Amino acid sequence: MILFVGLGNPGAKYTKNRHNIGFMVLEEIARDHDFSPWRAKFQGQTAEGRLGSTRVVLLKPDTFMNKSGQSVRSALDFYKLESTDVTVFHDELDLEPGKVRVKSGGGHAGHNGLRSIHDHIGPHYDRVRLGIGHPGHKDRVSGYVLSDFAKAEAQWLDDVIRGCADGAGALADGDAPRFMNAVALRVAPPRASKTEPKTKPQAIQADPSPESGKTPLQKLMDKFR
């Protein structure tokens, strides 16, 4: 069994916030892979199902972002899991919008949700970093992450969310490259070649008037005329 954790804030007010992209991905995984209905558990919302042969529990903490670790710790204790059985999906300011990266361990880079998880289970868990871009100045970060995605961002956001759901089975198997490939196929799908077929070059017609322009065969034929 493994635990997929999506980070966000509970309540309709925050549903479409950039900070809630982790929730959005888990909700798509649950829909796409026929997980059980969501129910309240571990100070959050959980859904259970299988990705391939792996049993997976999805967890959306209801503790608000800066206390997410409490919910994760409760789930780990109940299922007797290790921190290495956890994968956290979270918004990432240091990646451009639409970029996705998988990371194992490391620091929390000031992310309040990750900081709380660090405090409760340590740093040894996997993360799926979901790029949302940076507002340009640290003083604008709070308002930026707590604002809704713009309408112009809808396409790449949908591609990322669906791509993560497509690759969820690979991620559950520990195959990060295959997961990343599934995301890439949504975000940057291969396009059919639009190159026009090359036309055969037209034969170059030699000017027969100048003697120097005649072919050897033409010169030979002239001798017998």
Residue appearing with tokens 């195959």: 175
Q: How far apart are CA 75 and CA 6, in angstroms?
A: 13
Catalytic annotation on 137? no
Tokens 């990322």: give the residue. 160
CA distance 103 to 68: 19
Six token digits for residue 149: 């995605």
Tokens of 24: 């959005």
Cα distance between residue 5 and residue 128, in whole Å: 10
CA angle 102, 186, 18 (to 5 degrees): 60
DSSP 173: T
Instruction: Check 19, 90, 111, 118 and give the catalytic one.
Output: 19
DSSP annotation of 223 reads H
Contact yes or no for 26/60 (Cβ under 8 A): yes
Cα→Cα distances 58→20, 29, 145, Å: 15, 9, 23
3-class SS of residue 39? strand
Which residues are catalytic, by number?
19
